[in-house]
Amino acid sequence: MPTKTSIQNIGQFLGQSVTLQGWLYNKRSSGKIVFLQLRDGTGTIQCVAVKAELPEEVFQICQSLKQEASLRVTGEVKEDERAQNGYELTVQSVELLHQSDDYPISLKEHGVDFLLDHRHLWIRTPRQRAILKIRSEVLQAMTLFFSENGFTRVDPPILTPTSCEGTSELFHTQYFDEDAYLTQSGQMYMEAAAMALGKVYSMGPTFRAEKSKTRRHLIEFWMIEPEMAFVDHDENMRIQEQFVSYIVQHVLKHCAIELKTVGRDISILQNVQPPFPRMTYDEAIKWLNDNNYEIAWGEDFGAPHETALAAQFDRPVFIERYPTAIKAFYMQPDPDRPEVALCADLLAPEGYGEIIGGSERIHDFALLEKRFEEHQLPKEDYDWYLDLRRYGSVVHSGFGIGLERTVAWICGLEHVREAAAFPRMLYRLKP
């Protein structure tokens, strides 16, 4: 019996007969030879069926296969310099598992709406497979970084009674007799967890009912949120630059084929090493004004501002100390200058914008209580969060990194939607 294996491991079986199981991605036929492009989720390989060397019925099956038919192929592994992974298979036998109907996604260009309607099939194409593989490897790199650096994973709830990032973008739902909201961020729970475990992180879906239709916004996206006791704003930024560099270098090492498949220029990613440049919000405003952007101190950046600021550098840049008034209620003000907060956004180069938002958190009870009033948030709903400032409050910081934006940047994608298997976007809930 030939060994069953997968395309990614085929190199171990040079000169031997193996069995692969997968789907027909593409086919070319000359009458005497059929070239089958087989994909199995781990890669693609060309399988060569030669009429003169095969029983008639086997060759006929090869000729009859339609795009996306599922099959089992047995053949001999040969070296082939032209192939992406260096090998091809000489077909000895083929078993048709399921013939495919006429496949709606042909190998030519389709419009994006058509592709999104067929997302359940679109993900079978090599480019989409490569993106999903890189996304998985990004999560793997994050998990490794956290485990090597003493973090514990804690999973905050999805259903929450309150908002974390402002009430205008909350998804409402009914929780029996109470109002509930889909989480915008697990941060407040992670702050509680940091007081229990020191260094913690979460990874999971978050929701924003934002009526934004941009290449950077999803309605449902994954956020990874580390939170650390006894860590101040400066150390928070140092951890972020190590973390992001670790992820990028891990993907470069483990996803060379996938990065090639998506056409990424990896020389840009190779620069992503600490330290990252830092600019204050004040410096950023001055730089923008000097470069003919009309923006006044106190205003938030738009996408064109972020793109221009980040374009000065060959790696992500921190913009720190934004005006307190335009940032979330929980951010620690600078003690020497309370009109700015001890926070930073990390902007990715090449127009990808903010991939991380982070800050030192207010640890003083009275100040936080005052903020709830200023932001008109019902203090009684946040009593448990205020409790964290009642019992051994300490300086602490954390950040949230958007998974799809990070993957979009690493892959060089036009739009974040391709970084999610089934993106939830404005007016798109299906499939």
> Per CB under 5 A, does 333 bind Mg ion?
no
Give the total of residues touching Mg ion (CB under 5 A).
1
> Per CB under 5 A, does 226 bind Mg ion?
no
Residue 22 or 357: the one with the smaller Cβ distance to ligand 4AD is 357
| Distance of closest approach, residue 342 Cβ to ligand 4AD, in angstroms | 12
Q: What's the CA gap between 301 and 283, in Å, rounded?
A: 13
| Distance of closest approach, residue 271 Cβ to ligand 4AD, in angstroms | 20
List the one residue out of 284, 295, 359 whose CA is nearest residue 328. 359
> Per CB under 5 A, does 402 bind Mg ion?
no
| Distance of closest approach, residue 386 Cβ to ligand 4AD, in angstroms | 17
DSSP labels for 70-84? EEEEEEEEEE-TTST
> Per CB under 5 A, does 398 bind Mg ion?
no
| Distance of closest approach, residue 258 Cβ to ligand 4AD, in angstroms | 21
Closest residue (Cβ) to Mg ion?
357
Site residues for ligand 4AD per CB under 6 A = 164-165, 185, 187, 208, 210, 217-218, 221, 223, 225, 354-358, 398-400, 402, 404-405, 416
> Per CB under 5 A, does 357 bind Mg ion?
yes
| Distance of closest approach, residue 400 Cβ to ligand 4AD, in angstroms | 3
Burial of 21 (0-12, 13-18, 19+ CB in 10 A): middle
Give the amino acid at 224: I
Return the one option of ligand 4AD, Mg ion, none that residue 39 interacts with (CB less than 5 to 8 A, by type).
none
C-alpha separations of 165 from 188, 209, 399 in Å: 10, 12, 13
| Distance of closest approach, residue 343 Cβ to Mg ion, in angstroms | 9
Q: What's the CA gap between 274 and 338, in Å, rounded?
A: 29
Return the one option of ligand 4AD, Mg ion, none that residue 382 interacts with (CB less than 5 to 8 A, by type).
none
Q: What's the CA gap between 294 and 312, in Å, rounded?
A: 18
**In angstroms, how far is CA 417 from the centroid of its own chain?**
10
Return the one option of Mg ion, ligand 4AD, none that residue 221 interacts with (CB less than 5 to 8 A, by type).
ligand 4AD
Please say whether the beta carbons of 359 and 332 come within 8 A: yes
Please say whether the beta carbons of 350 and 409 come within 8 A: yes
Task: List residues near Mg ion by CB under 5 A.
Answer: 357
